[in-house]
Amino acid sequence: MKILVASAIHPDALEALEAKHDLVRAFNAPEDVLKEVIRDREILIFRSGVQITAAVMEQAPELKLLIRAGSGTDNIDLDYVRERGLKLVRIPGPGAKAVAEMAFGLMLALARNILPADQLTRQGRWAKHQMTGYLLTEKVLGVVGAGNIGSRVGWMGAAWGMTVLGCVEHPTPEKEARLREKGIRLTHCQEVLSQADFVSIHVPLKENTRNLIDAQALAMMKPGAFLVNLARGGVVDELALRDALVRGHLRGAALDVHAQEGEGKISPLADLPNVVLTPHIGAGTFDSQAEIGRIILDTVTTFAQSQADGAAEPVGASPSTL
């Protein structure tokens, strides 16, 4: 098959694909480059950090299969994908485990002052009494977007001895029951925001979630609460968050995703001491990426076989499809 890999995936998967297929790499390439390299490609593999626009896909008449090596679909023109009838395979499971664990890493980093404590200790300053922090146990965890990743965060929070509240865009009795089994009480987002000591954001970026956490939502949050965002940068209004942190309304925030991402981009929160910033590494564990790589290989193999057999649809791929 003719494959374009537009993002860095696990090296074992790249090597295995390269051994069997005609593979072009263009990691995180801009639109004009993608428009050139995609021309004769049948399969496109990508993650976040690259924009898969209609203009890019239009250049590839042979394109049939898109593999989103992860969860988010905010960087692909889904209307175009549907109109043209392209097959889109998402692989959300493996990254969810990594993102959920990282949510706890960030909550702990904030609650226990781990980054400033590290910096001071390296400087020879023994700030033992200035670095007193907070427990997660017996606190309220609020999960905004209790879906695939968020419900995992909530389940882990419950195991940690936290009271867990969650909200979803379309609540149903079935979802409520499923979340209850994981120790999460489904309620309105307003209650989640106003009751939680730690708020973790896990909604996809869509028209109705852009700046969901704006000045008004931040004002609803409990004074002294912590905010963690591992979803998408556009979901949180960074300037409003800055204001809430500077005024001391929020005690701290950790952001793995940012309105502006990439080399040379500096967050408007970068000068605040009560903020932890990481470069969109939530899904970035070797384990998760290796698992994603194996699913990519299975998906490509199944698709190639279906093409060879002349079947209209690839079969057997386990990941979620659009």
Q: Which positions lie near ligand MLT, rule CB under 6 A?
A: 47-48, 70-72, 95, 283
| 232 labelled catalytic | yes
Nearest partner of 201 among 176, 170, 226, judged by Cα:
226
**How buried is 188 (Cβ within 10 angstroms: 0-12 exposed, 13-18 middle, 19+ buried)?**
exposed
State the nearest-atom distance from the C-beta of 284 to ligand MLT, in Å. Answer: 7
Q: Pick the closer one to ligand MLT by CB: 44 or 218.
A: 44
3-class state of residue 241 by DSSP: helix
| 84 labelled catalytic | no
Nearest position to ligand MLT, beta carbon: 70
Q: Pick the closer one to ligand MLT by CB: 176 or 261.
A: 261
Q: Pick the closer one to ligand MLT by CB: 71 or 209.
A: 71
Residue pointed to by tokens 């998906």: 299
Task: For the chain, list the strands marked E by DSSP.
Answer: 2-5, 22-25, 43-46, 65-68, 87-90, 140-144, 163-167, 184-186, 198-201, 225-229, 250-255, 275-277
State the nearest-atom distance from the C-beta of 79 to ligand MLT, in Å. Answer: 19
Catalytic residue among 10, 202, 280, 291: 280
State the nearest-atom distance from the C-beta of 47 to ligand MLT, in Å. Answer: 3
CA dihedral 60, 61, 64, 70 (to 10 degrees): 20
CB 38 within 8 A of CB 317: no
Nearest partner of 144 among 83, 89, 212, judged by Cα:
212
Catalytic residue among 232, 238, 251, 291: 232
State the nearest-atom distance from the C-beta of 208 to ligand MLT, in Å. Answer: 18
State the nearest-atom distance from the C-beta of 173 to ligand MLT, in Å. Answer: 29
Beta bridge partners of 163: 140
| 280 labelled catalytic | yes
Q: Any idea which residues carry the catalytic annotation?
A: 232, 261, 280
